[in-house]
Structure 1
Amino acid sequence: MNILVINAGSSSIKYQLIDMNTEMPLSSGIVERIGLEMGLIKHKTFLNGSEEKTVEEFPIPDHGVGLKRVAELLTDEKVGVISDPSEIQAVGHRLVHGGETFTKTVEITDEVKAKVKELFPLAPLHNPANLIGVEVAEKVFPNAKQVGVFDTAFHQSIPEKAYRYAIPEKFYRELRIRKYGFHGTSHKFVSEKAIEYLGNPDAKIITIHIGNGASMAAVKAGACIDTTMGMGPLSGLIMGTRSGDIDPAIIFYLAQQKGFSVEEISDLLNKESGMKGLTELTDMRDIEKCQREGDPVAILALEMYAYRIKQYIGSYTAAMNGVDAIVFTAGVGENKTTVREMVCEDMDYLGITWDEEKDKNRKGDVHEINVDGAKVKVLIIPTNEELEIAKQSLALIK
């Protein structure tokens, strides 16, 4: 059983072909610069323990041309991993926003596509591109079932007291303004791994997905009860270029007193803030290097970054009346020792500790980095959103 996972953006397509018998990727890659003068495909194949890379640069006017070339590479005589596109039984699509309509994985039908279109206003940068990916895949892989996995679905178990905003009810009733949350596929994947590791289906877990985008989730007995991102992906943690939580009065001040347009404020908070705004750097490796060299700007930025995470750990521990484990995942969470150390520092009241030697000597899919005998497990669990999408797709079509 081969499942192709697609994440289509406005000018890109990320993909991974997974052999579900082994749950290992056969191929992965990205199509970039779609619609520009010259496009780019970076394609990898994984066979017999070796990795082979193919890089191609040529005009890619639309997603159809890009995905068609991906299908050709997957079946190529030299670098191909399958003999025919019909060997792909399903295409699992990452769909960012499912609103309140989609609470679980679905087979994509004309009705589903129409509903996704209705949700365009909630995710204008993502849902239209995601839907293009679906429509192109239907043509390139006509024999495969098309499956939609929504970023927001895992968070649909959040209770109303947590997802509603304290604004007039008509804005929820008529415009569906509420917290939806994102990174749900990742939070689901790592929380299930943590539950399995703890051997406790009723475990209270806080998942910390920190990469360029960042969010946290409170997961109780396998169900999400709260998350840091809201109606959009701007709120919550400090991120690579996003501000995270901010006083709304700042927006009014910039607009009314300083003449900023809505577009300028959006660009400021989404693209020019976060760690980039604080340090003028976007790579956490560079920021950590500056911190080690004593740069006060980098020191403050990392302190703010860790402090925001700690605030939410305290909040979610209160919401769940306890915590059994916290989980670090995604690019920063999995790889940045400094961040993990700073987050766990002075958290002993909650039973959260950090062991430097354990952190340095990582092994296995689930790695425990707390002090022996600690009340709360501190875990590093690499996320695998593509595999989670493939697993959900397989479960649906079986």
Structure 2
Amino acid sequence: MPGQHAVLVLNAGSSSIKFGLFDCSSGAASRLALAGGEVDGIGGTDGIDGAMTFAVDGAAPRTLRRGDGDPYRAALAPVIEWLREAWPNVRLAAVAHRVVHGGRHYFEPTVVDDAVLSELRTLIPLAPLHQPHNIDAIDTMRAACPGVPQVAVFDTGFHRTLPRIEQLLPLPHSWFDEGVRRYGFHGLSYEFLTIALDEAFGELARGRVIAAHLGSGASLCALRGLVSVATTMGFSALDGLMMSTRCGSIDPGVVLHMIDVRGLSHEALGTLLYHHSGLQGVSGLSGDPRVLLAQEDKNERAKEALELYVHRIVRETGALAAVLGGLDMLVFTAGIGEHSAPIRARVCGALALFGIELDDDANRANAHVISRPTSRVKVVVEPTNEAWIAARAAWSLVGGQARLA
């Protein structure tokens, strides 16, 4: 198809880059990617030693070895080569990048120039697990694809609707003016859910909804009228729920104790809270619920970690339901939310006071609706599609210009 417009979406992490190519020739970004894949095994400054897996129209995965040099340049070079060789007729309208933190200035999708990139670097301390890698990918693609707009799509953007009272922290007010406030994350995932739920359930989806994004990172979002009114993650992606390796909400006094009594440095403290806490820290075994579920009958720490994980989800769900004034729909998404029937069953069992009645067979089958018809709360499993949201946003921003080019 000569002149076929498309958007390449990159979701860059510390050890992997997920990518997808979305056709825009119809005047809108297609919901399903033309093709996509993932680069695994991105190493540190000494280069990478891993493989990139291409899933192109159901073809068998291909493995490519990596050389030395800059890790992100080396990781993205095969993606660019694949794009040129496999899709020679595609005109790349934009590269869309999921960027975790937009701070207090960036909510809408934004074409990245030198000034924007410089400001995004100042936000690295707010999202140290993600922001540096998001920026590395943008920097690399700007050099590799001159003239192609690099569009940042912000995870914090969806939560711009949070009421001021939800954004405020109980700290001196001047800090709020300087950007120390609750932002919320996983916004691309929640934005997709609002579209999918509205299509599937109409008026019910516009009621009192709590969405649970349960992956290696985890958060809850309270939705009313399909907009965010409260969420568990706040100033940083450490807040809220217990996660695979992140602690979630803890007493700030514990942090002071770690510094004053244990003598932890800033770096050591960050490593502990981001990488050695959560399910991994409590269990001492793994941050993966599948591993812990398989071990809980014979490993007390694995059992306790799962109990705490579910307890924190239940407690925060109850708090958000109070903010909403009730609950009409509970939605599970992301890796754990979409695939772990035991975790969903335990959460829903503890939330039975809201009138949740789970259909055990539907839950085990990962069905779309997993509640019984008599349940007062509809419980849904909705696979997320963050990449399409990023493609859609980028095309909305640059599509008109691309069609004229």
Q: Normalized against structure 1, the TM-score is what? A: 0.90
Residues 30-53 of structure 1, C-alpha deviation per residue, up to 9 Å, x if partnerless? 152263244334131322x43442
Cα distance change of structure 1 residues 125 and 342 upon mapping to structure 2, 3 Å threshold: closer
Per the alignment, residue 325 of structure 1 pairs with 329
Q: Which residue of 2 aligns with 1:342?
A: 346
Partner residue in 2 for 1:285: 290
Equivalent residues in 2 for 1:13-32, closer than 5 Å: 13-19=17-23, 20-21=29-30, 23-30=32-39, 32=42
**C-alpha distance 63-348 of structure 1, shift in aligned 2 (>3 A):** closer
C-alpha distance 246-104 of structure 1, shift in aligned 2 (>3 A): same
Partner deviation per Cα, 1:274-300 (whole Å, 9 max, x = no partner): 111111222221100112x34332222
Q: CA RMSD in A?
A: 2.2
Secondary structure in 2 matching 1:304: helix
Aligned: 1:238 with 2:248: no
2:64 match: secondary structure: strand
Structure 2 unmatched ranges of 5 or more:
24-28, 400-405
> Which of 220-229 and 86-95 deviates more?
86-95
Distance 1:323 1:192 in 2: 19
**In the TM superposition, what whole-angstrom CA distance separates every residue of 1:234-257 from its partner, at most 9, and x where no partner exists?**
111111111111111212222222
Q: Which amino acid aligns with 1:40?
A: G
CA gap of 1:298–1:117, structure 2 versus 1, over 3 A, is closer
Is 2:279 aligned against 1:270? no
Shift of the 252–139 alpha-carbon distance from structure 1 to 2, 3 Å rule, reads closer
1:66 aligns to what? 75
TM-aligned CA distance change 1:267 to 1:75, over 3 Å: same
Structure 1: segments with no counterpart, 5+ residues: none
Contact 1:11 1:35 in 2 (8 A): no
2: distance between equivalents of 1:13 and 1:35?
Answer: 16
Q: Is the 8 A contact 1:219 1:225 kept in 2?
A: yes
Query: How do 1:299-318 residues align onto structure 2 when only pairs under 5 Å count?
Result: 299-318=303-322
- Partner residue in 1 for 2:212: 208
Partner of 1:136: 140
Q: Give the C-alpha shift of residue 124 in structure 1.
A: 4.5
Change (3 A) 1:133 1:346: closer
Secondary structure of the residue aligned to 1:53 is coil
Higher strand share: 1
Are 1:165 and 2:162 matched, yes or no? no
| Cα 1:282/1:127, change in 2 over 3 Å | closer
In the TM superposition, residue 93 of structure 1 has moved relative to its aligned partner by 0.7
Deviations 1:56-86 (CA, angstroms, capped at 9, x unpaired): 232242433432332112333xxx2x016x6
Task: Please state how far the C-alpha of 1:103 moved relative to its aligned partner.
Answer: 1.9
**In the TM superposition, what are the counterparts of 1:36-55 in structure 2 within 5 Å?**
36-47=46-57, 49-55=58-64
Alpha-carbon distance in 1 for matches of 2:70, 2:299:
45
Contact kept in structure 2, 1:97 and 1:122, CA below 8 Å: yes
In structure 1, C-alpha distance between the alignment counterparts of 2:131 and 2:263, rounded to whole Å: 31
Deviation digits for residues 94-136 of structure 1 (CA, Å, limit 9, x no counterpart) = 1111112112222334443343244344335533432232232
Query: Normalization by structure 2: what TM-score?
Result: 0.89
> Which residues of 2 match residues 97-246 of structure 1 at below 5 A?
97-174=101-178, 176-200=179-203, 202-246=206-250
- Identity among equivalent positions (%) equals 32
Give the paired residue count.
387
CA gap 1:325/1:288 in 2 versus in 1, 3 angstroms: same
